[in-house]
Structure 1
Amino acid sequence: RNGQSYIQWLSITTVKDSDDEIENYIAIFSDVTHHRKDTQAKLHHATHDPLTGLSNRLLLNDRLHHAIDHAKRFEKHIGLIFCDLDNFKPINDTYGHTIGDEILKRVSHSLRSILRSEDTICRFGGDEFVILVEDLKDFDFMHDILTRINQLTTTPCVIDNHTIQMGMSIGAAIYPDDGLTSDQLIKAADTAMYRAKRGGKNRVKYAQEDINIYALKQKTDPNAFSYVI
Structure 2
Amino acid sequence: MQLNFSGLRALVTGAGKGIGRETVKALHASGARVVAVSRTGDDLVSLSQECPGIEPVCVDLGNWEATEQALGSVGTVDLLVNNAAVALSQPFLEVTKEAFDRSFNVNLRSVLQVSQIVVRGMINRRAPGSIVNVSSIAAQVTFPNLVTYSSTKGAMTVLTKAMAMELGPHKIRVNSVNPTVVLTAMARKVWSDPEVSRKLKERHPLRKFAEVDDVVNSILFLLSDHSASTSGAGIFVDAGYLAS
Q: Which has the larger radius of gyration?
A: 1
Same fold (TM over 0.5): no
More strand by share: 1
**TM-score normalised by L of structure 1:** 0.32
